[in-house]
Amino acid sequence: MVRRPLIRSLACWMLALATAVPSAVAQPKHEKTVTNLDGGVPIDAAGAIPGGACFDLKGRLDAPDFFDNLKREDTVSGTLFRRGNEVVTEFPKQLQLTIAITDTACETALHPSGPRLYLTDNMVRTLRLSFYWKRQLEMRAAHGIVMQDVEVSPIAPIFEAAPERTPQRYEWLLKFEVPSEGVPLTDSLVLIIRSPDHRIIARTAARL
């Protein structure tokens, strides 16, 4: 026969265990991820002109002083953008977008046979660039974007051993002014590149 004091002791121990476990599981998490946005927002993509050459696209969305010390904070409660103790909610009145389009060799799956084709100025000038502001699943046209400048520069051949046998490769540097007054930092600037026959050949986004 079990003595009563022992029964009371076991009952108290079981009650303590039953109340302790749920409280440990229910404790809220306070995890936070911080991303430094110094230097602006990079973009990156690759594309292939139908029946033609292939290219890499790299760029950056920036504005003077705006992204300095700007940080994105992601928590279980949501996302905030801070510059020190200041909470920032919108882009400045104007942004600068710089993109570089560079000739590159196509993947075998895109052009399994035939001679290597190189990106030319005529090919690049036929491309159609469209810009959109994206909010969740909604996309709206980004109006008022103006191209400021275009620079074309030669770049090193892929096959360094025999440059005299390789056609000259080039890089196109494009600079745009992007009106952005009143646009929330949670929106993304989407760039879609289409061929002359309206096929989408590259897509990328500057996403904070």
Distance CA 208, CA 86 (A): 17
Quick one: DSSP state of residue 90?
Answer: B
CA distances from 120 to 104, 143, 165 (A): 11, 29, 17
In this structure, are residues 186 and 82 in contact, taking their beta carbons and an 8 Å threshold? no
Triad 37, 42, 47: Cα angle to 5°? 165
Question: pLDDT value at position 160?
Answer: 55
Which two structure tokens, joined as six digits, stand for 173? 């540097």
**Residue 136 identity:** Q
Residue 28, pLDDT score:
52
pLDDT above 70 covers a percentage of the chain that reads 78
pLDDT at 56: 96
What pLDDT sits at residue 166?
A: 74
- What pLDDT sits at residue 167? 82
By the 10 Å C-beta count (0-12 exposed, 13-18 middle, 19+ buried), 92 is classed as middle
Looking at residue 31, its pLDDT comes to: 82
Taking the chain (208 residues) in consecutive chunks of 10 residues, what is each chunk's mean pLDDT? 43 36 49 92 94 92 96 92 95 98 80 75 94 96 96 80 71 97 97 94 96
pLDDT value of residue 21:
39
Residue among 63, 64, 67 nearest 83 (CA): 67
- Give pLDDT, residue 20: 38
23: helix, strand or coil: helix
Domain boundaries, the chain: 27-206
